A = this chain, B = another copy of it.
């Protein structure tokens, strides 16, 4: 049965009140796939079916924001409240943040007080920080517990916990004093005390730490979950590996778009973002670069006489100027990614400058040979000479600017990804015009 046939069949089955048949069709299908199927069903049918699926809260959490709102509207308020209370605490807080105040007021009274407070607390953290993605569904143990007591406590907490594979040991003030894994608990003797078993040097992060930082720590130490503490070192939440994966993917997308001169500070989908938003995220750099290109224009104006007498130079202008920009954006791309993954630091600058110069000379030399052949065919030996010298100079300049700019931006607290590529191109273009026409005026006059 194809996917579309399945969706049609599900719609029909629900329409004919054969709920059991519909549920049987969906048995064993993972939540992520169920979420996708339900999104393509008629919303009122999807809402009805969802209500009766055992993993309903997880499926609902998988929906994109728009779909959540659509399905929520099709549900009786009491059912929605039940599903919301079953949701993982981080997804629940995200949903709540998206509701408008009147919808929030309709939903809140239907929830238990503990959940209301939990939602309010989690929804308070600034977007982009650890607090905004952490879950409050973690498991804590007391240091004086025996292993048998600890496992019993885990069993009791399991239904509501994001993970029971890591349990955190806290003191009376909720200070994080240790961590123990279920693996260690299962391997230990039942009468051993948790205090003897736990690891005391817990790797943790602060609620106000950047999400990017969280993802890096978790990847570095291969953590299944990272405990999050507040300014008083009290445990307030955990972030699990699956959320870290999502963060890493979002950060990579952001850097990727920034290098492409798209101003992406939040998730931007070319498919579903409003057209006005796509326009806003892109227009700044494009207009900025229009004015940046003026620099090239000024260079050209300065050498207008040279150009008027040797119109053949115009023929090669886009080629030479473009080559500097291309070489420069290669360098800045390599640098931006290396800075993002932590492969290089500021102290490596001079070392890298030397390496990059060598690479640039090799690249420039190769390209000089290619372009001077073209110059000889189209012009003469002198033009070929101008082109060869210009190419080496322009590529060298492009690579050094491309390599240095991300460092400089980083040093002064700017994000090296944003702006690097367009800035590098803009600067390289202007410098390229000047180098080319200066060398031409030296050799041809």
Contact = CB atoms under 8 A, between A and B. Distances in A.
The 6 closest A-B pairs by CB, nearest first: A260-B333, A293-B319, A252-B252, A28-B201, A222-B242, A296-B318
Interface in A341-392: 341, 343-344, 348, 351-352, 355-356, 358-359, 362-363, 366-367, 370-371, 374, 378
A201 B271 contact: no
Given A155-B186, A201-B29, A282 B219 contact: no
Interface in A245-265: 245-246, 248-249, 252-253, 255-257, 259-262
Contact of A259 (B246, B253, B259, B314): B259
Interface in A378-423: 378, 395, 421-422
A329 interface: yes
Interface residues of A, number: 110
A362 to B, nearest CB: 5
Nearest to A399: B282
A372 to B, nearest CB: 11
A326 B286 contact: yes
Given A275-B355, A291-B370, 8 more contacts: A28-B199, A28-B200, A248-B248, A252-B252, A260-B333, A279-B363, A300-B317, A326-B422
Contacts of A300: 314-315, 317-318
A307 B311 contact: yes
A174 B428 CA distance: 60
A114 interface: no
Contacts of A270: 334-335, 338, 343-344, 352, 355-356
A370 B285 CA distance: 13
A285 B331 CA distance: 13
